[in-house]
A = this chain, B = another copy of it.
Amino acid sequence: MKKIINFKRKLAKFNDLWSPKIISEFNEQEIKLVKLKGDFVSHKHDKTDEVFIVLEGKLKIEFKDKIAELNKGEMIVIPSGEKHKPFSDEECKIILIERKNTINTGGEDHYLKSPNDIWI
Contacts and interface: CB of A to CB of B under 8 A. Distances in A.
Nearest to A84: B2
Interface residues of A, number: 36
Contact of A6 (B26, B73, B97): B73
A78 interface: yes
Contacts of A28: 27
Name A's interface SS.
Answer: strand
Contact of A73 (B7, B24, B68): B7
Given A8-B73, A26-B49, A27-B48, A2 B97 contact: no
Contact of A49 (B1, B63, B71, B97): B1
Interface of A: 1-8, 24-29, 31, 48-51, 55, 63, 68-71, 73-79, 82, 97-99
Given A63-B2, A68-B2, A25 B77 contact: yes
Nearest to A26: B49
B2 A31 contact: no
